[in-house]
Amino acid sequence: MRMYIEWLMVMYYEIGWTAFKGVLRGLLELRKHKVGKAEWFRRMRVCMKCPIYNARLRSCRTGSMGCGCYVPFSNLVKKECWGREKYGESFGWGWDDMKPAGIRKLNRLWNHGKKNQKQ
């Protein structure tokens, strides 16, 4: 229950009371994605070491940097953290961190090609 209240607080600070739409969307996303407990703890450890991490709100925001997400929840539903999306592989965590480097490179090239096709 405490994590749910913290999540609502972060949503309020980032979006305002219209955040309840985000709550519903988030609950639907949570049903789609399955992240194991060990992977969730690994992602949390990476986030807690990050200089952008706000320990009081458990969110990804320091000043103007970060995405403002509630970290315990986003670690369940996101494929990559904000830092990885923004700055590349040397920052944050990603969904393919545990795979060999060659496989990770192929996955990045494949996903980059998909993004370019959509545009």
Give the pLDDT of residue 61.
87
Distance in angstroms (rounded) separating the CA atoms of residues 79 and 39: 12
Measured CA angle at 71 (ends 69, 75), to 5 deg: 110
pLDDT tens, per residue, the chain with 119 residues: 787 788 777 777 776 666 666 666 767 777 777 788 888 898 899 999 988 899 998 999 888 888 888 898 888 888 888 888 888 777 888 876 766 566 556 666 666 655 555 55
State the pTM of this model: 0.62
Alpha-carbon span 117 to 113, nearest angstrom: 6
Amino acid identity at 115: K
The pLDDT score that the predictor gives to residue 48 is 92
CA distance 54 to 63: 10
Residue 37's pLDDT is 86
Q: Using the 8-state DSSP alphabet, how is residue 91 labeled?
A: S
Residue 70: what pLDDT?
A: 87
Check residue 1 and report its DSSP letter: -
pLDDT at 104: 58
Q: Which residue has the tokens 């000043």?
A: 63
